[in-house]
Amino acid sequence: MAILSDRDIEKYLKKGIISIEPLEDPKNQIQPASVDLRVGHKFKSFKIIRKPYIDPKKGRDLESYMDTFHLEDGEAFIIHPGEFALASTYETIKLPKHLVGRVEGRSSIGRLGVTVHVTAGYIDPGFHGKITLEISNIGKMPIAIYPKQRICQIVFETMTSPAKRPYGHPERDSKYMGQNGPESSKISKDYEIKHGKI
């Protein structure tokens, strides 16, 4: 696998092989080997509830565990130490069958103690939608996050060949295809849970 440079990113964007919409400030967003992405206006965080645990088999309950916040431009979402929230990229991404995306935090955000993904930094070939971010504050001070703030970066890697069944393929269970904001976990739709294998 090879990582795309800024030259290749610009070329792929111009040819429509990769789509990042809206890419309003390419001069500042396109980095030497990645593209900075901004956080959107919608955040989700867990409520304090009186249940002993989250059960992945009871998917319809998962959304009820979260509060949703819609922020205006200039309004801050405050993430406190030890808190976890979902957000999504402001930009919508579209990948072809032969490229993988990897989302990483920006150094300037990380140095404040904010992480942007727990495990889901991998974007499958064929994915189309906004990227859900798993934001945590592992520092000691509350941090303000603003809509349209550059918060993460996406790196593009070429595959040895195009995927036979990319994300969104009819034979795949692509639960998050076309998402337009932060999506709560759809783990209850996993094959092994949905079909009673566990």
Residue 29 annotated as part of some ligand binding site: no
Residue 111 annotated as part of some ligand binding site: yes
Residue 179 annotated as part of some ligand binding site: yes
Which residues touch 37 (CB under 8 Å, ≥6 apart)? 20, 29, 89, 90, 91, 93, 103, 131, 150, 151, 152, 153, 154
Residue 153 annotated as part of some ligand binding site: yes
Residue 124 annotated as part of some ligand binding site: yes
Residue 109 annotated as part of some ligand binding site: yes
- Apex 106 CA angle, 103 and 109, nearest 5: 125
- Which residue among 104, 134, 157, 183 is the active-site one? 134
Which residues touch 65 (CB under 8 Å, ≥6 apart)? 46, 47, 49, 51, 54, 184
Residue 31 annotated as part of some ligand binding site: no
Q: Is 134 a catalytic residue?
A: yes
**Residues designated catalytic:** 134
Give binding residues as ranges.
106-111, 124, 132-134, 153, 167, 175, 179
Give binding residues for dCTP as ranges.
106-111, 124, 132-134, 153, 167, 175, 179
